[in-house]
Amino acid sequence: MSLRFSKTPRLLTLFFALLFLVPLVTPVNFVIIQPGEGTPLFPKVLTVKSADVRTYAPHGQIYLLSIWVSTADAKILGAEALGCWVRAECVVFPRSVIYKRNTSAVKEEKKALKEMKVSQSAAMTATKKYLAKNYPSIDTSKLSDSSLKVSLPNVGGPSGGLIFTIGLIDLLTPEDILQGRKVAGSGTISANGTVGPIGGISEKIIAAKKAGATVLFASRSNCDEIARDVTGISVVAISTLDEALDYLQKAPTSNFRGVSGCTNLGA
């Protein structure tokens, strides 16, 4: 007696295998965002280069926060997007949410570097105005944009404005502003000291905690993106530079960890 075997089950198996495997190895129109690093500003990243201006050694550390974003040209495979989706610290966004149509990695890098230069200039202006108001004895007439040196390759964007300003004020004043603390922050800064929102605040909170910071300043405009269950760090929401400096100049009196300054928090 001869036996006959049908090829149908094998064909169905191959069909379903291809149905699930092909999307995993096919580029998808998404961008991956992950927490970056907390880079210490002192003593090498942020310096003031002016023979006519006195600086003071910091007593503590300030961290510039970053996030990792796949470039506009990167081909993200379905497997990569799926792997990111299942990890708590990784986020997937449609490419159109992050990048404009017809942009490129080169264009985005140039844009980010230009934004960082603008943020540094605004930080210098905000610093000089703050010192003129609160430390009138400090001569800032010799300070200019060229006095500020930031050694930070491969990082761009406007979100370092607030932290550059706090770092400059700490370097230029004899007062112990940091009081030994490790402080992080992310927010744009305007010439008059207004702190603006940035992207990726959740990822930057993770980066700050990994760096060992105990305080993180965020724009109050980012409150609806900050989770309610933040632990391990004090996230202080502010709207102005004055609020950040007022907070730092008060002696630490508690070990509170969580979010303050927000009336609306994310999920």
Q: Where are the domains of the chain?
A: 34-68+104-260
The phi, psi pair for 157, rounded to 5°, reads 105, 170
Distance CA 220, CA 262 (A): 6
Stated pTM of the model: 0.86
Q: State the pLDDT at residue 257.
A: 86
Q: How many CA atoms lie within 13 A of 238 on its CB side?
A: 26
Nearest of 230, 228, 204 to residue 89 by alpha carbon:
204
Distance CA 158, CA 118 (A): 7
Nearest of 112, 116, 263 to residue 188 by alpha carbon:
116
Residue 212 CA from chain centroid, whole number: 15
**What class, spelled out in words, does domain 34-68+104-260 have in CATH?**
alpha beta
Indicate the burial class of 238 (C-beta count within 10 angstroms; 0-12, 13-18, 19 or more). Answer: buried
Mean pLDDT by runs of 10 across the 267 residues of the chain is 53 54 68 92 93 91 94 85 83 89 90 92 96 94 92 86 97 94 96 94 94 96 93 96 94 78 83
Q: How many CA atoms lie within 13 A of 47 on its CB side?
A: 9
Q: Are the beta carbons of 91 and 70 closer than 8 angstroms?
A: no
Q: How many CB atoms lie within 10 A of CB 199?
A: 18
